[in-house]
Amino acid sequence: MKITKVETLRASRFTWVKVHTDEGLHGIGEAHPASGTSGWPKAVYGGIEYCADYVVGKNPLEVEKHWQHMFRRQLFRGGSDIMSAMSAIDQALWDIAGKAAGLSVSRMLGGPVRDRVKVYVHINGETPEALADDARRRADEGYKALRFYPLASLRQGMPDSYQGIVRTAVAFTKAVREAAGPDIDIMIDVVNRLSPPEAIAIGRALEEFGLYFFEDPIEPDNIEAMADVARAMPVPVATGERMYTLYQFRELLARKGAAYIRPDPALAGGISQIKKIAGLAEADYVGVVPHNPLSPVSTAVCAQLCAAIHNVPVQEYTGTEHEPQKRDLVNDVLEVEDGFLKIPDRPGIGIDLNIEAFKHHPPVPYERPIAYHPDGSLREY
Amino acid sequence: MKVTRLEVLRASWFMWVKVHTDEGISGIGDLHGGSGGVGDPAAVRAGVEMCGDYLVGKDPLQVENHWQHMFRMCLFRGGADLMAAIGSVDMALWDIAGKAAGLPVHRLLGGPVRDRVKVYGHLVGDSPEAMAENALSMKEKGFKALRFYPLGPFSEGVPDSYTGIVRRVVSFVEAVREAVGPDLDLMIDVVCRLTPPEAIAVGRAIEPYGLFFFEDPIEPDNIDVMAMVAERQPVPIATGERLYTIYQFRELLNKKAAAYIRPDPSVSGGITNLKKMAAQAEAQYVGIVPHNPCTPVMTAANLQICGAVHNVPVLEYTANEHRSPKCDVVNRLPEFRDGFLMVPKGPGLGIELDEKALKRFPPERHSRAPVMAGDGSLRDY
Is the separation of the CB atoms in A15 and A49 below 8 Å?
no
Same domain, A262 and A187: yes
pLDDT of residue B369: 85
pLDDT of residue A160: 86
Q: Which of A52, A73, A103 is the last residue of a domain?
A: A103
Is the peptide bond prior to A217 cis by the omega test (within 30 degrees of 0)?
no
pLDDT of B253 strictly over 90: yes
pLDDT of residue A99: 98
- Domain range for residue A16? 3-103
Instruction: Name the residue with higher pLDDT: A380 or B307.
Output: B307
Contacts 24+ apart (CB under 8 A), B66-74: B66/B90, B66/B93, B67/A110, B67/B269, B67/B270, B67/B272, B67/B273, B68/A113, B68/A310, B71/B269
What are the chain A neighbours of B1 within 8 Å (beta carbons)? none
DSSP label at A333?
-
Q: Which of B113, B275, B308 sits opposite A279 (nearest CB)?
A: B275
Q: Do B110 and A254 touch (CB under 8 A)?
A: no
Pick the residue of A65, A91, A285 with the most B CBs within 10 A to test the interface with B by mutation.
A65
pLDDT in tens, A194-222: 999 999 999 999 999 999 999 999 999 99
Which CATH number is A10's domain given?
3.30.390.10
**pTM for the full predicted model:** 0.92
pLDDT of residue B254: 96
Contacts of A181 (CB under 8 A, 6+ apart): A139
Say how many domains are in chain A: 2
Q: Do B283 and A250 touch (CB under 8 A)?
A: yes
Q: Which of B101, B276, B284 sits opposite A103 (nearest CB)?
A: B101
As a whole number, mean pLDDT of residues B257-270 equals 98
Same domain, A152 and A236: yes
| Closest-approach residue (CA) in chain A for B96 | A110
pLDDT of A157 strictly over 80: no
Same domain, A21 and A165: no
pLDDT of A243 strictly over 80: yes
| Confidence tier at B225 by pLDDT (50, 70, 90) | very high
Mean pLDDT rounded to a whole number for chain B? 96
Q: Do A111 and B247 touch (CB under 8 A)?
A: no
Q: How far is CA B346 from CA B98, B102, B171, B304, in A?
A: 9, 8, 44, 10
Report yes or no on A359 lying in a domain: no
Which CATH number is A115's domain given?
3.20.20.120
Q: Which of B114, B249, B282 sits opposite A276 (nearest CB)?
A: B282
As a whole number, mean pLDDT of residues B124-149 equals 98
pLDDT of B76 strictly over 90: no
ipTM: 0.86
Q: Do A280 and B283 touch (CB under 8 A)?
A: yes
Q: List residues bridging with A342 in a β-sheet.
A: A116
pLDDT in tens, A93-134: 999 999 999 999 999 999 999 999 999 999 999 999 999 999
Q: Do B113 and A62 touch (CB under 8 A)?
A: yes
Q: How far is CA B236 from CA A47, A340, B115, B184, B312, in A?
A: 37, 49, 27, 16, 15
Same domain, A58 and A189: no
Report yes or no on A312 lying in a domain: yes
How many angstroms separate the first and last alpha carbons of chain A? Answer: 44
Q: Do B279 and A280 touch (CB under 8 A)?
A: yes
| Closest-approach residue (CA) in chain A for B68 | A310
What are the chain A neighbours of B101 within 8 Å (beta carbons)? 101-103, 107-108
Give percent above pLDDT 90 in chain B: 92
DSSP label at A342?
E
Give percent above pLDDT 90 in chain A: 91
Q: Do B279 and A276 touch (CB under 8 A)?
A: yes
B238 phi, psi to nearest 5 deg = -115, 130
What distance in Å separates residue A111's CA from the closest CA in chain B? Answer: 5
Instruction: Name the residue with higher pLDDT: A185 or B373.
Output: A185
Is the separation of the CB atoms in A300 and A312 below 8 Å?
no
What are the chain B neighbours of A254 within 8 Å (beta carbons)? 254
Q: Do B68 and A310 touch (CB under 8 A)?
A: yes
Same domain, A241 and A339: yes
Instruction: Name the residue with higher pLDDT: A246 or A154.
Output: A246
Q: Do B277 and A282 touch (CB under 8 A)?
A: no
* Inter-helix orientation angle A162-180/A128-140, to 10°: 30
Ordered by where they begin, the domains of chain B are 3-104 (3.30.390.10), 107-348 (3.20.20.120)
Same domain, A226 and A312: yes
Question: A129 burial class (0-12, 13-18, 19+ CB within 10 angstroms)?
Answer: exposed
